[in-house]
Structure 1
Amino acid sequence: ASAKARLIDVFDLSDVQATYILDMPLRRLTKFSRIELEKESGELTTTIEELTAILDDDGNLRQVVSDELAAVGQQHATPRRTLLLEANASPAKSAVPLEVDDAPCIVLMSSTGLLARSADTEFDASADIARAAHDVIVSSVPATARGEIGLVTSAGRVLRLSVLDLPALPSVIGIPALSAGAPIGAFVDLPANEQALCLTTLDETGCIALATARGTVKRVVADTPGSKDSWEVIRLEDGDRVVGAVRLDDAAARTAELVLVTSDGQLLRFPATAVRPQGRAAGGMAGINLASGASVIAFGAFTPTDDAMLITIAGTTAALPGIDTGSMKVTPFAEYPAKGRATGGVRCHRFRSGEDLLTLAWVGNGPVRACSSSGVPVPLPTELGKRDATGVPVAAPVSHVAGSL
């Protein structure tokens, strides 16, 4: 009775199962154990033979080590972030104080989420320099080497960053490539559904202009909480998100235009002065009237110049992201008339057969650059399109577009 009770308690058996095991002859139980041991012994023998064959053959051993190193390298690979200036450079002791001067600089953010600071405060975009990976700069902001800046995210937050923590770039000719930059994740932890949109100053001048997917626009007055590492700059409705943000100084805010582009191929532009500045807790105001099922996919705030362009890429909802190249159109921004805030806009891209939405849009002053999701440069069409024309095929999938700094 005690054996039966222990079987039920230890192995969680039913009364019938325990009775069957106790009634089973001992020789049958021994046979089952022998079968299991013979199976395990066979597996161990096979493993020993395989390992012995590797150790006995030097070529086989080297191949196994090579395969394992390749697998480790692929699993833990990270892109090079060290900028090589000279092929045979030798280390030298610094002859200057190690303290960093609080000198003016500019902080840059690439399309791939890399951050860096540069002592160069101006860049010659017309320089005849070959393009490189990570050279699409989506945001830049003036700062000082020991100062602080803000990072605006799609959740309507600003996160404080120390400029001194960012990698310093050497002086370059043309637009810098941020291959030596550091990823945003090295400084702040963002949830998977929250993206960095732009950089901003933390002084009491200028404003942040932003727009949400549901067509709301807002100009946020310069108001930085001194003791917080992050704070909200807009009250978002459930399910809404910020799709674009731009820092405007006081002079630019008087001449800039706000531009919204929707997923169904509509564009609306109106003066930034049509949106009165609001405090951080406000929810903004209506920017564009959206058709059913449409959303805002791009936002720009800038003072148009002669080389201002609109870039649109059309695709289909059935395509996998990053696979379908779609059709791209490059159109002079002057082609599109201005309208009042909270209107419906004008058509900016006519869809081809099979296309049903804009997958990407960008508007701003040129020269314009495009790249893939990994930061590899992608050439733009050389021919300009008409205001509501269709696009042309693209050489490779485009993930980001940016213009002048």
Structure 2
Amino acid sequence: MEEPNESRIITVDVSNEMRTSYLNYAMSVIVSRALPDVRDGLKPVHRRILFDMYEMGLRANTSYKKCARIVGDVLGKYHPHGDASVYDALVRLAQDFSLRYPVVNPQGNFGSIDGDPAAAMRYTEAKMSRIGEEMMFDIQKETVDFGPNYDDSLQEPTVLPASFPFLLANGSSGIAVGMATNMAPHNLQEICDAICAVIENPDITIDELMEYIKGPDFPSGAIICGMKGIKDAFTTGRGKIVMRSCYEIETHDRGHDQLVFTEIPYQVNKADLVKKIDDLRKDGAIPSISTVRDESDRKGIRIVIELKMGSEPMVTLNQLFARTALQTNFNVNSLALVDGRPRLLTLKEMLVYYIRHREEVVTRRARYDLRKAQERAHILRGLKIGLDNIDEVIRIIKESNDNTVAAEHLMGRFGLDLLQAQAIIDMKLGRLSHLETSKILEELGDLEQKIAYYQDLLSDEKKILKVVESETRAMPGSLAPKDHRLTKILREEIGQSTLEDFIKDEEVVVLISNKGFAKRIPSEEYEAHGRAGKGTRTTKLQDGDFVDHMFVASTHEYVMFVTNAGKAYYTKVFEIPEASKTAKGTSIKNILQVDTTEKITSIISFKEFSEDTYLMMATRHGVIKKVSLNNFRNAKTRGIIALNLDEGDELLQCEFVQEGDEVMLITKNGQGLRFSQSDVRAMGRASHGVRGIRLLGKDEVAGLLKVDFNKRILMVTENGQGKQVTFDSFSVHGRGTQGQKIYRIGGKASCIVGALAVNDENDVVCVTLMGQTLRIHVNHISIQGRNASGVKVVTMKSAKDCIVAIASTSGEDDDNPEDVEKAFETDSIPGVVEEIDSTPETE
């Protein structure tokens, strides 16, 4: 067997080889493919397409050529990659919904905003637009450098003259290796004004530039909400710009409202957007939507969303903006190549680099024109000498054996150089006429003026900048005379408060069933009954489901949920769909991203997040914890870990507490413990909590109340007994003790279901296992001693029925809205917590 040739084996370090090869590949992608040059704003493929179309003579005033021919020419001469990459780049340069100012004029199917692809390149045609020509203007005057193509057979420009500010006007996007760029388009008139402002005042600030460039101007229009993202993008190169669709609220002939969207955010696929909205309608996630139609045509976009009768348009809008691409973010990352290296650029830096590029182009153009003018003037001066001595010139030429000898004699006789002598020899006899002689002298005079102008121009940098400024000022009028800003800018930052102005602020009862169906009902729909009445049905229950939670809150308040797994979520009350008394409601999973294994165990409502307000939380096994409400700000609909629970324990109830407050824990077997909230230290996330009350046997906590001497403790048992007890009937004890007797259990009264703090202006609403509801005036329920067994409050229709939940609401006779609002600040059935950060405290 032949021995291997060791001279052909190269030993290398794999790690070094991988590092070197990867870096070479990364730099190739960064410099030669994915990132635009800050000067002309183009990637290599775009630059090659435009230059090839220029060489093919595809001007704005010429005929179209097949895209297949253009793509083939680009591939063969300059861009040795796949034809799909070149054609896709060509298509994007022509799409008016992708580029604010297209540089290619298309003919045929070039795709749509619905995501439809362009037709095959053999069917479509293209040529340069007027703006595309402007990118190539003066390229023949040695204004830019050229370099070899991929096989060194041709020369291609390394950058275009770009008298049109492509990067700022059209933006750019691209993903390189380890970095990406995403630059927004802007309005041409605003860009040109800003360029002139920088030329006139090199020390201009970003804030002053924003007087000229208001913000991005997207080809799809829409609305930019807030100035913060724009300011961040202009000052740092990075910023999150919030975009919203333009809409109108119309009234249908049948009397219900419909939302009509006429503009959508940049780069949003309209067909996918309409499908997403319809899917939300089918799933019941936005139950107020009746139908969705796309009525768009060549005149513009028109997405029609019909609402059901009585639906609140602004609530539906808020849900659509939160769940669909009708509101989206454009994340600006202004990364471009500066001297071949990627740099993150501010607005002013982009303007300065473009001005420098234009200054260099104008300078090189002036040098080229000066040289050409001087060369032509030199020839004309020789012709003038020849015309002044025409008879002698003719004699010398006639007497010479050939043109070479004639040129030598002319050079010797009149002091000409070879070029001048040859021009005299090549001059036609027709130019000896008096008229032609005058034209030569006139042309020479014009050239001498131009030479003086070019020399003067090149002698002063400020004059070069004046030329750049004058050409920039003339650009909008010649390229886009009827152009106007498409994207509107709202200076105010968007937020829930803006939409809440359109939502009626009213108190509602929110019901959540054991199987996770939620709805809200105006509290006015509950009629008060006398004590021991039978009540009315409040929800249609199916398959053994029953109402598990009920609370009263304002539509503008936050609602926070805690599940049996210890996760916390929040939403706004008005985002819970309103429904009738007999309706089943909407699955809570359409509102919150709750896992299928989780069950909501506690709910609380509040007006705003605050660091000075605390949540005192209690579990069924007697553990309590105090956490600042501000710790729950990040819960939202996705949820965060709220509490580390012991096995078999669950969160029961929460109360807002502040400095100086006292709270009471009440157990199912009738024990009550009053203690100061200061006995419980404030905890962070992920802590376990401390013992609140010492439980005997299988006793569990039934309620947590904040002590308020203007109110009384109302308790209802599982079999419908109830009573009121005053807070001052109990003395303050230490945390972790057994407390005092609060209810005599046994006989008529079974275990306590819940406890509320109430006064004479309150009603109490009771819900049974089978869905029966009863609203009772509090003053119809007796105030008794600590050891009493209470009175009959609810009469169940079935012996198998029992009370499962109670909540307080304002009495129907209360006409003072402020008192009503105050009554509901702490009296809903609450319960929510967060995961905490400290070591569990032991007793």
- Under TM normalisation by the shorter chain, which class is it? 0.5 to 0.7
Query: Corresponding residue for 1:238?
Result: 647
1:371 maps onto 2:771 in alignment = no
Mark the CA change 1:124 to 1:339 in structure 2 (over 3 Å): closer, same or farther.
farther
Q: Which residue of structure 2 aligns with residue 31 of structure 1?
A: none
Q: CA deviation at 1:180?
A: 7.0
**Structure 1 residue aligned with 2:600:** 195
Tell me the amino acid that sits aligned with residue 510 of structure 2. Answer: S
- Counterpart-to-counterpart distance in 2, 1:148 and 1:383: 34
CA distance in 2 between partners of 1:401 and 1:226 (Å)? 26
Contact 1:154 1:194 in 2 (8 A): yes
Q: 1:392 to 1:94 in 2, by over 3 A?
A: closer
Cα distance in structure 2, aligned partners of 1:107 and 1:157: 27
- Residue in structure 1 matched with residue 500 of structure 2 by the alignment: 102
- Give the whole-Å Cα distance in 2 for the aligned partners of 1:276 and 1:311: 28
Distance between the aligned counterparts of 2:528 and 2:723, measured in 1? 25
Identify which of 193, 207, 217 aligns with 2:614.
Answer: 207
Q: Which amino acid aligns with 1:395?
A: T
Aligned residue in 2 for 1:388: 787
**Which one-letter code corresponds to 1:160 in the other structure?**
Y
CA distance in 1, matches of 2:687, 2:521: 32
Partner Cα separation in structure 1 for residue 564 and residue 717 of structure 2: 21
How far off is 1:342 after superposition? 1.4
Following the alignment from structure 1 to structure 2, what is the Cα–Cα distance between the partners of residues 254 and 134? 39
Q: Is the 8 A contact 1:107 1:116 kept in 2?
A: no
The partner residue of 2:755 within 362, 365, 387 is: 362
Q: Offset at 1:283?
A: 0.9
User: What corresponds to 1:173 in structure 2?
Assistant: none
In our comparison, the structure showing a higher alpha carbon Rg is 2
Q: CA deviation at 1:209?
A: 2.1
Question: How far apart in 1 are the matches of 2:509 and 2:680?
Answer: 27
Which one of the candidate residues 494, 500, 520 is aligned to 1:116? 520
Q: For residue 266 of structure 1, report the CA deviation from its aligned partner.
A: 0.4
For residue 237 of structure 1, report the CA deviation from its aligned partner.
1.3
Q: Tell me which amino acid in the other structure corresponds to 2:725.
A: T
1:187-220 CA distance string (max 9 Å, x none): 2446577334213457344332210111111112
What letter matches 2:743 in structure 1?
H
Q: 1:294 corresponds to which residue?
A: 699
C-alpha distance in structure 1 between counterparts of 2:527 and 2:662, whole Å: 30
- Higher RCO (C-alpha 8 Å, min separation 6): 1
Deviations 1:257-315 (CA, angstroms, capped at 9, x unpaired): 32211122101122323322211211111111111222212222x3514332231426x
Q: Where does residue 264 of structure 1 map in the other structure?
A: 669
The equivalent residue for 2:688 is: 283
The structure-2 alpha-carbon separation of the partners of 1:345 and 1:227, relative to structure 1 and needing over 3 Å to count, comes to: closer
**TM-score, normalised relative to structure 2:** 0.30
Return the offset for 1:350: 1.5
Task: Tell me the amino acid that sits aligned with residue 683 of structure 2.
Answer: Q
Query: Residue 336 in 1 paired to residue 730 in 2?
Result: yes
User: Which ranges of structure 1 fall in alignment gaps of 5 or more residues?
Assistant: 1-89, 170-176, 315-324
Distance in structure 2 (CA, Å) of the matches to 1:153 and 1:285: 20
1:161 to 571, 574, 577: 571
How does 1:60-75 map onto structure 2 within 5 Å?
Answer: none
CA gap 1:361/1:148 in 2 versus in 1, 3 angstroms? closer
Q: Aligned match of 2:255 in 92, 96, 108?
A: 92
Cα 1:332–1:154, aligned 2, differ >3 Å: closer, same or farther? farther
Contact 1:112 1:134 in 2 (8 A): no
CA distance in 2, matches of 1:129, 1:240: 36
Q: CA deviation at 1:91?
A: 4.3
Separation (CA, whole Å) in 2 of partners of 1:354 and 1:99: 51
- SS of 1:399's partner is strand
| CA distance in structure 2 between the aligned counterparts of 1:401 and 1:386, rounded to whole angstroms | 21
Provide closer, same or farther for how the CA distance between residues 219 and 378 of structure 1 changes in structure 2, counting only shifts above 3 A: same
Q: SS state of the match for residue 273, structure 1?
A: helix
Counterpart-to-counterpart distance in 1, 2:674 and 2:508? 27
CA contact (8 A) 2:782 2:790 kept: no
The answer (yes or no) to whether the contact 1:143–1:149 under 8 Å persists in 2 is: no
Instruction: Indicate if the aligned counterparts of 1:216 and 1:284 stay in contact, CA closer than 8 A.
Output: yes
CA distance in 1, matches of 2:658, 2:582: 32
- Tell whether the 8 Å contact from 2:618 to 2:651 is kept in structure 1 after alignment: yes
CA contact (8 A) 2:561 2:604 kept: yes
CA distance in 2: counterparts of 1:364 and 1:192, whole angstroms: 33
For the structure 1 residues 371 and 216, does the alpha-carbon distance in structure 2 shift closer, same or farther, using more than 3 Å as the test? same
Corresponding residue for residue 216 of structure 1: 623
Residue 128 and residue 191 in structure 1: after superposition, are their counterparts in 2 closer, same or farther (change >3 A)? closer
Q: In the superposition, relative to structure 1, how do residues 254 and 102 fare at CA in structure 2: closer, same or farther (>3 Å)?
A: same
Q: Secondary structure at the match of 2:678?
A: helix
Conserved? CA contact 1:106–1:140, under 8 Å: no
8 Å Cα contact 1:200-1:208 kept in structure 2? no
DSSP-derived class of the 2:659 partner: helix
8 Å contact kept, 1:328–1:391: yes
**For the Cα contact (< 8 Å) 1:111–1:375, is it kept in 2?**
no
Task: Please give the secondary structure, in 2, of the residue aligned with 1:238.
Answer: coil
Q: Deviations over 1:198-246 (max 9, x none)?
A: 1345734433221011111111222133787111222111111111123
Structure 1 residues 375, 326: closer, same or farther in 2, change over 3 A?
A: closer
CA contact (8 A) 2:713 2:758 kept: yes
The secondary structure found in structure 2 opposite 1:403 is: strand
User: Contact between 1:313 and 1:327, CA under 8 Å: does it hold in 2?
Assistant: yes
User: What amino acid maps onto 2:641 in structure 1?
Assistant: E
Match of 1:18 in 2: none
**2:696 partner letter:** A
Partner AA of 1:139 in structure 2: F
- Are positions 1:304 and 2:708 aligned together? yes
Provide, for residues 319-350 of structure 1, a one-character-per-residue CA deviation record: whole Å limited to 9, x for no partner: xxxxxx26433333333333222111101111
What RMSD over aligned residues (CA atoms) do the two structures have, in Å?
Answer: 4.0
Q: Is the 8 A contact 2:554 2:573 kept in 1?
A: no
Structure-2 residue corresponding to 1:5: none
Q: Kindly indicate whether the alpha-carbon contact (under 8 Å) linking 2:519 and 2:578 is maintained by their aligned counterparts in 1.
A: no
Query: What residue number does 1:229 align with?
Result: 638
| Distance across 2 between alignment mates of 1:214 and 1:138 | 22
Instruction: Give distance in 2, aligned partners of 1:261 and 1:296.
Output: 6
Whose helix fraction is larger, Structure 1's or Structure 2's? 2
Q: CA separation in 2, counterparts of 1:91 and 1:333?
A: 56
Change (3 A) 1:227 1:154: closer
Determine the structure 2 residue equivalent to 1:352.
746
For the residues of structure 2 that align with 1:383 and 1:241, how far apart are their CA atoms?
32
Query: How many residues are paired up?
Result: 286
For 1:258 and 1:359, the matched residues in 2 are separated by 18
C-alpha distance 162-383 of structure 1, shift in aligned 2 (>3 A): closer
Q: Which amino acid aligns with 2:788?
A: A
8 Å CA contact retained: 2:643, 2:688: yes
- What displacement does 1:112 show? 4.6
